[in-house]
Amino acid sequence: MTEKISDEAHAAYQRINATDDFAELKRSYFGFVVPLTIAFMAWYLLYVLMSIYAGGFMGHRLFGNINVALVFGLLQFVTTFGIAIWYARFAAERMDPIADRLRAEYEEEIEK
């Protein structure tokens, strides 16, 4: 079941959606997310392809029972957490101020 919003709230959203601030918010988001998603997927695909086609290299022991494949796998986790931390900082610094300002405008407009 969907919630019905008032015509005023819809009009306020449409107006804010057309602002330069909203366009900047979307541009910032996609400018961060798209390149990093492509880079991470390429990194992951490299891991998979190396595991399939370069078994000898991936099976090379670095020390003890630790081989290249295990290090690559662990680096996938490190990369994931690194990107998440980077995004949180980026959003707090560049996107949250714009989003907070737009939210305040929206709430002020619909409370009238």
Predicted pLDDT at 13:
86
pTM above 0.85, yes or no: no
Show the low-confidence residues of the chain (pLDDT under 70): 1, 112
Q: What is the pLDDT of residues 43-72, one digit of tens each?
A: 999 999 999 999 999 999 999 999 999 999
Q: Are the C-beta atoms of 71 and 62 separated by less than 8 Å?
A: yes
Predicted pLDDT at 42:
97
CA–CA gap between residue 50 and residue 53 (Å, rounded): 5
Structure tokens that stand for 101 in this block: 């300002």
Predicted pLDDT at 9:
81
